[in-house]
Amino acid sequence: MFYDLNIPLPDAAGKAGGHVSSQDWAQIAQTVEQARELGYSVVALNLTVQGKLAPEHLSVWNTTPEFKNAQLSWDRATGARVGGATRSVGRGKIRVLRRLTAVIGDAAQGHSLASVDGAYDIVAVQPTNDAMLLAACN
């Protein structure tokens, strides 16, 4: 079983055309460094998207800064995944993954998850009603 330390991105990042400010990235970098100091070897930066997922939701990662003592699971220049979630990191470093939480209320929104094929290390679905919970479990 895998566990992840989920570090949420600001709510604005999950909206169409959303972004993460340099001040928010600085705070996230500080949280990642604190997790490393506490002995975590892997953390996941979580983007929560309400409704249908669009390709522009991936652009939020374009402004990711370098994190001290960290290895990203994606290439900052291209956005392509590098290695995967289980790739080991050097001693004293922390692995930073991309995690997506899709909050979905109907089946059409769930189908949009196919557009992120391979872009995220962890994909979570948060259904908003019984029908979507049943669909997610099947």
Cross-strand bridge partners of residue 45: 7, 98
Amino acid 87: pLDDT? 59
Share of the chain above pLDDT 70, in %: 83
CA–CA separation, 43 and 95 (whole Å)? 6
Q: Inform me whether the pLDDT recorded for 93 exceeds 70.
A: yes
Global confidence as pTM: 0.83
Element (H, E) at 28: helix 22-37
Contacts of 77 (CB under 8 A, 6+ apart): none
CA–CA separation, 36 and 84 (whole Å)? 19
- pLDDT mean across residues, the chain: 82
Provide the pLDDT confidence category of residue 89 given band limits of 50, 70 and 90.
low
Amino acid 2: pLDDT? 56
Lowest mean pLDDT among 48-52, 105-109, 123-127: 105-109
Burial class (CB in 10 A: 0-12, 13-18, 19+), 57: buried
